[in-house]
Amino acid sequence: MNQFFVYHRTIHFSDTDAAGVVYFANGLSMCHEAYEASIAASGIALQSFFRGTAIAVPITHASIDFYKPMFCGDCIAISLAPSLRSPAEFQIAYDLYFDREDPERTAIARALTTHVCIDSSTRKRCNLSDQLLKWINKV
């Protein structure tokens, strides 16, 4: 995967389940944190972006595969790369890896989210905003 943006994070106790490993849904939540951080780093104001006044960008698909467990205290990095699928749709590929332990950046998890741009009032697909296209094409 071509690296677009890297988000660094420590696994918290609240991220884990009764077995002490990251709960599957929290893996996706961490990927969403990385998405938000990359949007903010590109200069898009998060408050207006997620308010969805003119457009909204819901996630229509999400998946995650885990290859190694993550425990409380682990330092991880999440590398993400968006790609345009159509004028109204993009996807983001995520690689999660141990931040300090693995210079090879071997994936401990991989995720994918698909996002569709819709008009907030009609709920119908519309083209992505210029801001989003600029963010996607930053690669």
How sure is the predictor about 2, in pLDDT bands with cuts at 50, 70 and 90?
A: low
Query: What dihedral angle (degrees, nearest 10) is formed by the CA atoms of 23, 25, 30, 31?
Result: 130
Asked if 134 and 90 count as a contact pair (C-beta separation under 8 A), the reply is no
Tokens representing residue 65 in the block: 């595969």
Mind listing the pLDDT tens digit for each residue in 121-136? 999 999 999 999 999 9
Task: State the average pLDDT over residues 36-58.
Answer: 87
Range 5-136: architecture per CATH: Roll (3.10)
Predicted TM-score (pTM) of this structure: 0.91
Residue positions annotated with a catalytic role:
17
Q: pLDDT tens-digit profile of 55-70? A: 999 999 999 999 999 9
Q: Hey, where are the domains in the chain? A: 5-136
